[in-house]
A and B are shown apart, each in its own frame.
Chain A
Amino acid sequence: AQRVTQPEKLLSVFKGAPVELKCNYSYSGSPELFWYVQYSRQRLQLLLRHISRESIKGFTADLNKGETSFHLKKPFAQEEDSAMYYCALTALGAGSYQLTFGKGTKLSVIP
């Protein structure tokens, strides 16, 4: 069974401070990990995926298979980063690519 845990429901940081949103997963096979973001009154959208190893809007995430983690980081938070962030996992090679989501972390950037 697949499981994604986001331990923080709410994270508040000051503008310009570093941000780290935690994500831990449980899956015995090869996972593909994603971060999705939902801004106020907008749809869920992909922020980044570990396979592409991109940096989007200054955010990065590294897959640590030893610690089964995929934490999302940004060195300097901006007010426009305030949103709901979801970590998600899919099983590589399983066929359907269904996503298993964590419960989400609400990031609030204080001006």
Chain B
Amino acid sequence: DTGVSQNPRHKITKRGQNVTFRCDPISEHNRLYWYRQTLGQGPEFLTYFQNEAQLEKSRLLSDRFSAERPKGSFSTLEIQRTEQGDSAMYLCASSYLDTQYFGPGTRLTVL
């Protein structure tokens, strides 16, 4: 296990298309987080899972965004009807308690 992995690393899409990202956490970690990072900003919290339950969602997570974590293992983040404002780095992190370990991120570009 080499840490949190994310796929794809880069995604270019046209406005209006749907995209899905995957995150594979560190295997024994029960907590999984999604963050979004735009240029010049720090990461911003989107949503949090404990095992398979999605326990918190930020107001940044509009109804076009949905996240799942079936069986408490990997997680997917889907964005429907992408907009240019969705262009960002999407980061996944996992933890057992309070120290979060981050993946390399998926960079989304919406044309």
Interface positions of A (Cβ within 8 A of B): 4, 9, 32, 34, 36, 43-46, 49, 86, 88, 90, 95-104
Contact = CB atoms under 8 A, between A and B. Distances in A.
Interface of B: 3, 31, 33, 35, 40-45, 48, 50, 55-56, 91, 93, 95, 97-105
A46 to B, nearest CB: 6
Contact of B101 (A4, A46, A104): A46
Nearest to B3: A43
A104 B42 CA distance: 6
17 contacts: A32-B98, A36-B102, A43-B3, A43-B103, A44-B43, A45-B101, A46-B101, A95-B55, A96-B50, A97-B97, A99-B93, A99-B100, A100-B45, A101-B42, A101-B44, A103-B42, A104-B42
Given A96-B55, A98-B48, A86 B98 contact: no
Given A88-B42, A97-B100, 9 more contacts: A32-B98, A43-B102, A43-B104, A44-B43, A86-B42, A96-B31, A98-B33, A98-B56, A103-B40
Contacts, number: 54
A101 B40 CA distance: 12
Given A101-B42, A103-B40, A49 B103 contact: no
B99 A44 contact: no
A96 B97 contact: no
Nearest to A88: B42
B105 to A, nearest CB: 7
A98 B45 contact: yes
B11 to A, nearest CB: 17
Contacts of B97: 97
B41 A96 contact: no
A43 B4 CA distance: 10
